[in-house]
Copies of this chain bind each other. A is one copy, B any other.
Amino acid sequence: MAKIHEVAKAAGVSISTVSYALSGKRSISPDTRRRIEEAARELDYRPNAGARMLAGRRTQIFALTEPFRADTHAPAHMAFVLATSIAARRFEYDILLLTEEEASAGMRRVASSGLADGVLVLDVAPDDERVDLARRIALPTVFIGVPDDHEGLVCVDLDFEAAAALAVDRLADLGHRSIGFVGHPPTAYEKSNFPPRVRRGLEARAAERGLDCTTVLPESDGPRRAPVRDAVRGLVEAGATALVLHCDDASHAVALDELATLGRRVPEEVSVVSVGATFDTAAFHPPIDSVPLVPSASCELAVELAMRMVDGGEVPAAVHLIAPEYRAHGSTAPPGGASD
């Protein structure tokens, strides 16, 4: 492993010049810079991480805490982990993994040993124990998700209310007057933070736009996922011309399957929109319009805020909401028209 000393010698300059040339923190003559960069490349030089941390008071590392609970949805979770890692690399930061019980103890450990410059909190629960911890440690911390008590915290999340409203607007604009909402199982509305936000946004905007809106929160298990099927059947038979889905991917598939079973074509007879999904709604048959929760968007914003905090910038201790985006895949159309 080459050291800065060797690069300096190879380029015929002093150690500090190499450091400045490589960091760009002082101006260096083009010629000298070129020689240094060449020498560094030649020797495959990279600053020693430990030395850099010590001298530079920067670790270039973010800790990522993820308790990984039993009910964590692995594919979605992985997408967030991945997105965080990629976002961090853009700033030349690495991700240190803090899992399970270590998600809390690890935060303390990392904070007091100066192993990381900041903490990113994933898989946030409403009553997350990492909330108190985050207030106590002196490390920039960003929550990806919103705990119930988020006073004084920096959080990042999709604007779920606006997302639901966007779905409603789309349907209202198309002329739908009666829509059905298929949500998560009822328990999710106590255990999680965002399902109520979706519901609230949906019902509020539906009322504003004068839409008839019926909400069903079916259990997602049971034989053949009957509750979801029943919900779908009940809603369309009651006259809903559009369905808004905010549930897991299996329930999406079941809902579509039930519509097919009922002989209701999408979108000719029933429009379908998914809200807040982390999975690919275009992969369903038929592909489903979606106002998704995009992991990369959340994670990029989180990393960006964390970076700003590390750099001493001002970041409001608040929930930073991400504007929703409508992704059309052909599953919505004006109501009542079987016209092909």
A109–B46 touching, CB < 8 Å: yes
With A44-B112, A53-B49, A54-B50 as given contacts, are A99 and B86 in contact (CB-CB < 8 Å)?
yes
Question: Nearest Cβ distance between residue A296 and chain B, in whole angstroms?
Answer: 12
A residues adjacent to B (C-beta < 8 A): 1-2, 44-54, 59, 61, 64, 68, 74-75, 77-78, 81-82, 85-86, 89, 94-97, 99-100, 102, 109, 112-115, 138
A97–B99 touching, CB < 8 Å: no
With A53-B53, A78-B68, A78-B74 as given contacts, are A46 and B112 in contact (CB-CB < 8 Å)?
yes
Set B46, B75, B112: member contacting A1, Cβ < 8 A: B112
Question: Nearest Cβ distance between residue A236 and chain B, in whole angstroms?
Answer: 24
Complex: A157 Cα to B52 Cα, angstroms = 37
CB-CB < 8 A to A86: which residues of B? 99-100, 102
CB-CB < 8 A to A112: which residues of B? 1-2, 44-46
B96–A82 touching, CB < 8 Å: no
Complex: A52 Cα to B53 Cα, angstroms = 10
Tell me the number of copies of this protein.
2
29 contacts between A and B (CB under 8 A): A1-B112, A1-B114, A1-B138, A45-B112, A46-B109, A46-B113, A48-B54, A48-B114, A49-B50, A49-B113, A49-B114, A49-B115, A50-B51, A50-B52, A50-B114, A61-B96, A68-B78, A68-B82, A74-B78, A81-B99, A82-B99, A85-B99, A85-B100, A86-B102, A94-B96, A94-B115, A95-B96, A95-B97, A96-B97
Complex: A109 Cα to B138 Cα, angstroms = 29
A49, A100, A114, most chain B CB atoms within 10 A: A49
Question: Nearest Cβ distance between residue A81 and chain B, in whole angstroms?
Answer: 7
CB-CB < 8 A to A48: which residues of B? 54, 113-114
Complex: A50 Cα to B61 Cα, angstroms = 11
CB-CB < 8 A to A2: which residues of B? 112
A1-B112, A64-B97, A94-B115 provided; 7 other pairs, C-beta below 8 A?
A: A1-B114, A46-B109, A50-B53, A75-B75, A82-B99, A82-B100, A86-B102
Complex: A64 Cα to B95 Cα, angstroms = 10
CB-CB < 8 A to A99: which residues of B? 81-82, 85-86
CB-CB < 8 A to A64: which residues of B? 97
With A50-B59, A54-B51 as given contacts, are A85 and B114 in contact (CB-CB < 8 Å)?
no
CB-CB < 8 A to A1: which residues of B? 112, 114, 138
Complex: A75 Cα to B75 Cα, angstroms = 7
Complex: A49 Cα to B53 Cα, angstroms = 8
Q: Which residue of B lies closest to A72 (CB)?
A: B78
